[in-house]
């Protein structure tokens, strides 16, 4: 790990401490490596850079299986993690500090009980995992590929950090904390039919050889996964996402970009409204 990131922990807890600036070359390399970040307007790029600096001050990276988390790895993860909260603030991530980075996919022990009451133990390969009140775990192999996989709407970092946002109200259910019952009702009214249609498309593709959906079929497994998978596409390939989910683009704009959405339509889903 380079000296730039090593020195960050010493600044934690200091009154009035400012985030240490990300070196220009490192930042430019990050924007080039992940083109969906490089396409942000200049003002948003600058705001993201400042947010990433603050994010890195408050998080602890750990490499698993001997992996060394370098400056470029930490900044790459942080930049993608901060994208969903660019207009919301880091308060959405204040319930955890740890980010564990594995070299590749990790095996998680699972158990399930079948209809007969028999307990089955098995292992599941994971690209990432977000725990309520706990750390985020990521496969570096898949993080590193996020620049290339954006064309397919895939991004493991955004997926797991959307789960953290979703969990802010205690459970990952596909709906983040919202300011009112009316906002929750409007969210469900937009998300549920999109989820139902997506599940139907996945079922038709798997059972009858229909057209494969653009988004990851894993999103059909639960509302929380659909929210996370949909946000992957929304943040890394907005144009293609909007072709299939125009109503969700409008919905996500109101939540993730509340000031801009309010200026345009007078409506937003900011949890602080």
The verdict on residue 271 lying in a domain is no
The verdict on residue 270 lying in a domain is no
Q: In the predicted model, what is the mean pLDDT of residues 253-261? A: 87
- Are 148 and 121 in a shared domain? yes
Q: Quote the mean pLDDT of the chain.
A: 88
- Are 150 and 47 in a shared domain? yes
Question: Which of 139, 169, 199 is at the close of a domain?
Answer: 169
Task: Tell me the CA end-to-end span of the chain in Å, nearest whole number.
Answer: 41
Convert the pLDDT of each residue in 115-173 to its tens digit. Answer: 666 665 555 667 889 988 899 999 999 999 999 999 999 999 999 999 999 999 988 99
- Are 90 and 187 in a shared domain? no
Question: Which of 123, 145, 169 is at the close of a domain?
Answer: 169
How many domains in the chain? 2
- Integer angstrom CA distances of residue 104 from 69, 138, 149: 13, 8, 16
- Are 29 and 151 in a shared domain? yes
pLDDT at res. 12? 40
CB atoms within 10 A of CB 106: 19
3-state secondary structure of 204: helix
pTM: 0.87
- Are 150 and 187 in a shared domain? no
- Are 153 and 226 in a shared domain? no
Is the Cβ–Cβ distance between 124 and 107 less than 8 Å? yes
The verdict on residue 13 lying in a domain is yes
- Are 96 and 212 in a shared domain? no
Region of residue 170 (left: phi > 0; alpha: psi -120 to 50; beta: else)? left
The verdict on residue 78 lying in a domain is yes
Convert the pLDDT of each residue in 177-188 to its tens digit. Answer: 999 999 999 999
Min mean pLDDT across 5-19, 60-74, 160-174, 240-254 is at: 5-19
Residue 263 has pLDDT above 60, yes or no: no
DSSP-derived letter for residue 97 is -
For residue 107, name the pLDDT band (cuts at 50, 70, 90): low
Q: Which domain holds residue 15?
A: 3-169
- Are 128 and 38 in a shared domain? yes
Distance CA(269)–CA(259), nearest Å, equals 10
- Are 29 and 91 in a shared domain? yes
The verdict on residue 176 lying in a domain is no
Q: In the predicted model, what is the mean pLDDT of residues 254-270? A: 71
Convert the pLDDT of each residue in 215-255 to its tens digit. Answer: 999 999 999 999 999 999 999 999 999 999 999 999 999 99
- Are 30 and 97 in a shared domain? yes
Q: In the predicted model, what is the mean pLDDT of residues 71-87? A: 98
């Amino acid at each position: 790990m380079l000296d730039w990131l090593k020195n960050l922990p010493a600044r934690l807890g200091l009154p009035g401490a400012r985030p240490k600036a990300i070196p220009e070359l490192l930042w430019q390399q990050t924007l080039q490596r992940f083109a969906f970040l490089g396409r942000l307007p200049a003002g948003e790029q600058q705001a993201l850079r400042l947010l990433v600096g603050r994010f890195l001050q408050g998080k602890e990276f750990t490499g698993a299986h001997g992996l060394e988390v370098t400056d470029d790895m930490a900044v790459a993860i942080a930049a993608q993690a901060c994208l969903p909260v660019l207009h919301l603030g880091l308060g959405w991530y204040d319930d955890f500090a740890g980010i564990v980075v594995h070299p590749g996919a990790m095996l998680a022990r699972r158990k399930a009980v079948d209809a007969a009451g028999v307990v089955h133990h098995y292992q599941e390969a994971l690209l990432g995992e977000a725990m309520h009140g706990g750390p985020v775990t990521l496969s570096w192999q898949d993080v590193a590929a996020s620049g290339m996989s954006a064309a397919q709407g895939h991004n493991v970092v955004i997926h797991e950090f959307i789960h953290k946002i979703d969990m802010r109200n205690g459970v990952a259910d596909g709906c983040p904390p919202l300011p009112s019952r009316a906002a929750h009702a409007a969210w469900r009214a937009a998300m549920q039919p999109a989820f139902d249609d997506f599940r139907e498309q996945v079922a038709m593709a798997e059972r009858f050889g229909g057209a494969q959906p653009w988004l990851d079929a894993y999103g059909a497994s639960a509302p929380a996964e659909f929210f996370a998978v949909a946000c992957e596409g929304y943040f890394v390939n907005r144009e293609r996402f909007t072709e299939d989910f125009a109503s969700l683009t409008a919905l996500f704009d109101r939540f993730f970009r509340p000031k801009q959405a309010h200026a345009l339509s007078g409506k937003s889903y900011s949890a602080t409204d």
